Amino acid sequence: MRSLSIAATGMLAQQRNVEVVSNNLANMNTTAYMRRRTEFNDLLYQNLRRVGSTSSDSGSTVVPSGV
């Protein structure tokens, strides 16, 4: 499901970009209209964790063999 969420976010960003461009084109001859720009920010809010489970005694991560 994560890949669908990423795809949906990308489509929403592209839709917003098209809306801003079309608004700029429609209003470029309007007096005192200022051009708008779409700005995208990178979001890195995912916690990266090591594969395995945390041991409750020592707090260290137990890594399965082969990893």
pLDDT in tens, 4-44: 888 888 898 899 999 999 999 999 888 888 888 887 766 55
Residue 8 lies in a domain: yes
Residue 26 lies in a domain: yes
Q: Which value, in Å, is the radius of gyration of the alpha carbons in the chain?
A: 23
pTM reported for the whole predicted model: 0.54
Say how far apart CA 25 and CA 21 lie, in whole Å: 6
Residue 44 tokens read as 């890195």
Helix (H, G, I), strand (E, B) or coil at 34: coil
Beta bridge partners of 61: 54
Residue 9 lies in a domain: yes
Say how far apart CA 13 and CA 34 lie, in whole Å: 21
Q: 13 is in which domain, residue-wise?
A: 1-37
